[in-house]
Structures are given as structure tokens and as C-alpha cells.
Structure 1
Amino acid sequence: MPPCPICESSQTVKNGRIHNGKQRFKCHNCRRQFVEQPTKKVIAQATRELIDRLLLERISLAGIARAAQVSEQWLQTYVNQKYAMMPQSVQVTQKKKGRLTIQCDELWSFVADKRHKQWVWLALDSNTREIVGVYIGARDEAAARQLWNSLPAVYRQCAVAYTDFWAAYGAVLPKKRHQAVGKETGKTSYIERFNNTLRQRVSRADRKTLSFSKSLDNHIGAIWYFIHHDNASLLV
């Protein structure tokens, strides 16, 4: 067996293979995992663009690594950097003051395990179908206020908001422009449909998944990444 490149111990054993089939070794002394004669692989731009598209589908990072033929370690670093740079404010078409209508709802998700709930609060423009407000956090009055504050100013000034009967909405939204309605009215159907799409396309938001987030920052980044993509697709 080859010696460890870190501690030079000869107490090494075979430890599976890396994504390209090359033999991997493990040092019993320092626990380092390594391959013989490693080469730095430059990831082509076409592969990066493929990964960007796959991140918008309900595929685990391990699945993306297999499909794109990159290492999971490289992919995790790439994803961490991408999500860290993701803008966390809505980017929507400019609206004039006038009659605007939004639908609001909150979506349950979790990070690491189901004890650490993260609610995704969303507001959707009923006319353009754009997501115009986002907040990810608890499910309380403070979170509802964060959703309200995330709306562009024209919506806070003019929009009529349709929501379910969750009390936090009534405590935050202007009473004259807030209407709590049941699902049977159809007045929150667009946002409910978007929630379903989000669960189908972003595996981290699914109720039962092995692709859940271990990092809150990446959980938030993945959701924002999909929202920005969805809003941009409405302009095509």
C-alpha cells in the first residue's frame, strides 16, 4: 500500500473508490483519505451549467455528482459558494401604483432534522404570478412582519392580500386590505400551487426526503435560487 502523503505512515488500507473509479486509501494513523498521484481536474463551464440546471430539479447532491461526473466534495464547495452569493431580496418587474392583489401562504420545511422547523413565507402577485415577498424562519407574528417588509414598497402601499386564517396575518397586514379566506374560494390557489411546485422541484422542501439540508444557509440559498429562477422564467 502507498504511504500516507500527510504523516508518511505505511499503515494504510484500501477504502473504496472515488467518483472516477480511482482507488482511494485511508491512513490508520492520521485518518487521512487519499489517492495516489492525484491530479487537479478543471471542471468545464458546460458541466457547471449542467449542475446549475440540475440544482433546480428534485435531485440530491449525490445524484448530481454522479450525473455530472464530479466529486461530491467539489460539488459541495461549488454549491456552498453559489448559495452564499444568492441575493435574498425579490427581483420583480416594476409595478405602477394601482389595484394590486397578492396571495400569501407559509410552507413547512426543516434543517438537519424535523425538530428544527423552517417556515417558508411567500407572497405571490395574482396577476403576474411572480413571487414578490419571501421570508424563511419561524411561524409567528414577527415572521409575518418580515414577509410584509420583504414586499416592494408599491405592494405595501396598494396591494390587497388574501391569506388563510393564520392569526399572524391579521396582526400584521393592514386590516382594510387583508382578507382571510378558505381554500374553497380559490383566492389562494396560485400560491398553494406554487408551494406544491416548490416541494416537487426543491427536494430540501419536501416533507419526507433524504435530501434535506444540513446547513440553514444552504437551505435558504436553495429556496432563493429556485425563486429567482422561477420569477425570471415568467419574463421569457
Structure 2
Amino acid sequence: MPLAKRAQILGFLVEGMSLRAASRLADCSINTVTKLLVDVGMACAEYQDRELRNLSCQRVQCDEVWSFVGCKQRNLPAERKAESGVGDVWTWTAIDADSKLVLSWLVGDRDKEAATMFVSDLASRLSNRIQLTTDGYRIYLEAVNSGFDVPVDYGMLVKHYSEGQQGPERKYSPSKFVSAERRKVMGKPDKAHISTSYVERQNLTMRMSVRRFTRLTNGFSKKAENHAHAVALHFMYYNFGRIHKTLRVTPAMEAGVASHVWRLEEIAALVPEPVAKKRGPYKKKPR
């Protein structure tokens, strides 16, 4: 497939289209779109894992956003509960409050093991002491303690909500926000910067830009691996290829990781071209 065609399909995907919608507009097989997503998703994950290192961030915010693969956990049949890669899945994200760069993410469960892996990966990408903010999820406490080898200024933003409303509207309207409590957990965090506003806004960007995160639709992921590839593609485009309206540059440029705005052709070209196999002379088989 020509590079321009691959870039066109990636453009459809990063703007929130489903695989089938992309295949219709690009006039190609859905298997072709899926194969392109897998190849580019793997390449994007490898590139960002390599390049997002030794970052001099000052303030980092973390959160986790819910989605599911196959079906929701509560609807999972009893015979599939032991099966891995189906049911609820969480994407852990860490964003630099200044450059808006998403420097670490993890697709997995919402448990202690996933939290520890996520925080450890985040710590390995930093070059200096930071102020860290998370929500009130208690698993973060042990994860931060074990994940950071250097001191960190850590604060929690604990939000309080009223009781959820009754009736069909509860599916669409969240509980009413009541108050937020800023807690100092470790070190000397500046209370004025104990906030999760940027990472929560990034969660909204993800839901608007990745079809698999759209609520109450049939666009959810059917395979956990493809879900992770879609997340990697989203963050590649968000970090390197999409100009942030506030910054007027991409987050990667603001963080000093990139020197220009990446085009979709450049993202597609992260996948190495296949090498043609040398073929010998044709020999007619004896009957």
C-alpha cells in the first residue's frame, strides 16, 4: 500500500473513526486497516518507549480511564471469567502539566500490580525530582512508595460526589460534584499545584479521538492487543503530530523531544518496509 494511503487511513483512526468506517472511506478491506493498526501501533509504542527518556518534568498528573474489551466485566459469562484479555480494561496515563506531554501509559487492570508497573515506568523516564498528583485511589500510595527510587513531592486530590441520581438519566449524567480535598502525602508538594485537571482533560481527548473509548456504542475493542495498539497510535499522534491549541506546538516539541510537527506519513513510515525475498530460478517439478 502506498505511504499516502496508509497515512490517510491513520488520519481516519486518530480522528475517532472505527475500523469499518475507515475501511469504507479508504475503499479497502477491514483486514488491511486492522493489519495497519497493529503494525503502526507496535512501531509507535517502541518509538515512544525509546525516545521518552530522561525528561525534565516538574509537575506530573496521573489518572486511569476505563474501557472494556469484548464485553463489560459485569456481563462476562461465567465460562469466560478465567479468560485473560476480556472484560474491563484500564489505561493508566501520566501527563506533564507544563508541556502536556503524555510521558507514560499502561493498558491493564486497575490493581496493585498494574499500578506498580505504571509508576515504575513513569519514574524511569524522569531525570529530576517532581511533584506528583493522583486522585484518591489508595493503590497509588504503595505504588509510589515502591516505584520511585528518588524522593518525590506527592499529593492527592480527593473528590467528593453526591449520591447518584435515579432513573434512566443516570447512564448519561454523572453524580453531582460536591467538593475536592487536597492532601499532602509525601515530601513537600505545593498545594496550589495539587490538581488532576490536565490528565482528566486528556482522558476526554482520548474518548473523543479513539473510537474504542466512546461510551454506549458498539465500537469497543474485541481484542486486548488491538486496544493497546490503538492507545499507542493515539499517544503518538497526540504527542508528536497534533498541535496543542494552548501551546501552539506539539507536546513533544514543548518538552524538547521533537523539533517539528510530525506528519501522518512520518508516523506510518515508522513501520519498516518489507524486504523482498530473493527468488531462485523456476524449476518445473517432475510428474
Shorter chain as normaliser: what TM range? 0.7 to 0.9
Q: Does 1:70 align with 2:70?
A: no
Which residue number in structure 2 is paired with residue 206 of structure 1? 214
Number of aligned residue pairs: give it. 192
Q: What is residue 230 of structure 2 aligned with on the other side?
A: 222
Partner of 1:181: 157
Contiguous gaps of at least 5 residues in structure 1: 1-42
2:37 to 59, 71, 79: 79
- Alpha-carbon contact 2:69-2:222 (below 8 Å) kept: yes
CA shift at 1:93, angstroms?
7.2
Residue in 2 aligned with 1:110?
68
Matched residue, 2:119: 148
Partners in 2 of 1:154 and 1:52 — Cα distance?
A: 27
Alignment of 1:50-61 (within 5 A): 50-61=8-19
Percent of aligned pairs with the same residue? 28
Q: 1:132 to 1:45 in 2, by over 3 A?
A: closer
Displacement of 1:108 in angstroms is 0.3
Shift of 1:176: 5.5
1:127 matched to 2:84? The reply is no
Residue in structure 2 matched with residue 165 of structure 1 by the alignment: 136
Counterpart of 2:228 in structure 1: which amino acid? I
More strand by share: 1
Stretch moving more, 173-182 or 104-113: 173-182
Give the secondary structure class of the aligned counterpart of 2:236.
Answer: helix
| C-alpha distance in 2 between matches for 1:172 and 1:80 | 30
Report the Cα offset of residue 154 of structure 1: 5.5
**Partner SS state of residue 92, structure 2:** strand
Point out which structure has higher relative CO (alpha carbons under 8 A, 6+ apart): 2
| Residue number in structure 1 paired with 2:201 | 193
When the two chains are superposed, the root-mean-square deviation of aligned CA atoms in Å is 2.3
| Runs of 4+ residues deviating >6 angstroms | none
> Shift in Å at residue 213 of structure 1?
1.0
Larger radius of gyration: 1
Q: In the aligned structure 2, how far is the partner of 1:198 from the partner of 1:182?
A: 23
CA distance in 2, matches of 1:95, 1:213: 32
When normalised by structure 1's length, the TM-score is: 0.73
2:113 maps to a residue whose letter is A
User: Structure 2 stretches of 5 or more lacking a match?
Assistant: 74-86, 146-150, 160-179, 183-193, 242-249, 254-260, 262-287
**Quick one: structure 1 residues 176 and 53, their matched pair in 2 at CA, closer, same or farther if it must change by over 3 Å?**
closer
Aligned letter for 1:153? S
Q: After superposition, what is the alpha-carbon deviation per residue over 1:124-143, rounded to whole angstroms, capped at 9, x for unaligned?
A: 11111111121111111111
3-state DSSP of counterpart to 1:182: strand
Q: 1:232 aligns with which of 210, 225, 240?
A: 240
Letter paired with 1:92: L
Aligned letter for 1:218? N
Deviation at 1:92, TM superposition (A): 3.3
* Letter aligned with residue 89 of structure 2: Q
